[in-house]
Each structure stands twice: as structure tokens, then as C-alpha cells.
């Protein structure tokens, strides 16, 4: 399985609520840039799963033209405080080959750390608008390998 982890692009500092924060003009440019770079890899994504937060949805929207046949699936489980192990179990149950997750930190950093190192203690950074491609035969702690990282 290939799991693509994409953190939302740069968002405004304040809004009515954290979930309502929108991308800045620079963030919108980052989202377009990472979408172009990702499309050049010709990914064959089976499902796009996105946090319901506005900034994540705006970032995911930049990716959707690459996959016009797919619908965007919103999942509160990948919000900033999402349960890494619960999401890993869900992904394992999908029986898909390529999944794109568009989310936030600390969730993505924790997920990447667990997938690759088997523990959250390593605190692998995931920067804004950065995509990590993780390959794994089994979705389990320490079973992932980072194939590449794309930055805007």
C-alpha cells in the first residue's frame, strides 16, 4: 500500500474557530504547487480522505483535479488530535492500494512517526503543504518506508 500524507498549506492565524481557519494567499499557492508536483508522479489514488477543517479541505481541493473520478471523504478522525492507531486500523481495513490523507499536525507527525519508527517519540516533522509517500506491506507500527517527500 502507498499512503500519501499531506499537511494543509499555510493558514490564517485566527478565525472564528480553529476548524474555520482558511488558507492564506501564500497557502493557496502552496496547495497548487504541491498538487502540480504530485500530479507529475502520476499517482493512482483510490481514496482521498480529508479532515473536515476548512484549511485541510481547501488544500485537498487543489488535489481533486488530479483525481476527477474520486469523491473527497471527510473524516473527523484525522483532525489535529486524531487517534493514530484507530486511523491505522481503518486504513488497513480499506483494502485499497493508494490512499491520500489531507490533515494536520500533530496528527500527521504522530502517524508518520508510528508508521516508520514504530513510536511517536521520534516526532517526525511534517511541514505545511508537504507530502510524504509511505510504502508498507502491512499498516502497522514500524512497517512503513518513506519513498519520497514533496515540498511546495
**Which tens digits make up the pLDDT trace of 7-33?**
999 999 999 999 999 999 999 999 999
- The pairs formed by 112-115 with CB atoms below 8 angstroms and a separation of 24 or more are 112/5, 112/144, 112/146, 114/84, 114/85, 114/88, 114/141, 114/142, 115/3, 115/88, 115/139, 115/141, 115/142, 115/143, 115/144
Residue-range definition of the domain harbouring residue 143: 2-150
The C-alpha atoms of residue 74 and residue 1 are separated, in whole angstroms, by 21
> Model pTM?
0.96
Number of domains in the chain: 1
As a dihedral over the C-alpha atoms of residue 56, residue 20, residue 126, residue 42, rounded to 10 degrees, the angle is 10
pLDDT score for 115: 98
Q: pLDDT tens digits for 93-126?
A: 888 999 999 999 999 999 999 999 999 999 999 9
Q: What CATH number is given to the structural domain containing 92? A: 3.40.50.1240
Amino acid at each position: 500500500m502507498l499512503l500519501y500524507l499531506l499537511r494543509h498549506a499555510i493558514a490564517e492565524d485566527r478565525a472564528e474557530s480553529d476548524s474555520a481557519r482558511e488558507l492564506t494567499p501564500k497557502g493557496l499557492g502552496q496547495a497548487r504547487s504541491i498538487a502540480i508536483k504530485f500530479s507529475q508522479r502520476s499517482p493512482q489514488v483510490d481514496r482521498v480522505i480529508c479532515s473536515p477543517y476548512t484549511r485541510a479541505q481547501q488544500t485537498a481541493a487543489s488535489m481533486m483535479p488530479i483525481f476527477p473520478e474520486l469523491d473527497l471523504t471527510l473524516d473527523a478522525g484525522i483532525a489535529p488530535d486524531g487517534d493514530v492507531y484507530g486511523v491505522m486500523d481503518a486504513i488497513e481495513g480499506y483494502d485499497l492500494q493508494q490512499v491520500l490523507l489531507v490533515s494536520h499536525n500533530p496528527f500527521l507527525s504522530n502517524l508518520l512517526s508510528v508508521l516508520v519508527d514504530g513510536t511517536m517519540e521520534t516526532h517526525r516533522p511534517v511541514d505545511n503543504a508537504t507530502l510524504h509517500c509511505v510504502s508498507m506491506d502491512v499498516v502497522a507500527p514500524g512497517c512503513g518506508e518513506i519513498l519520497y517527500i514533496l515540498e511546495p
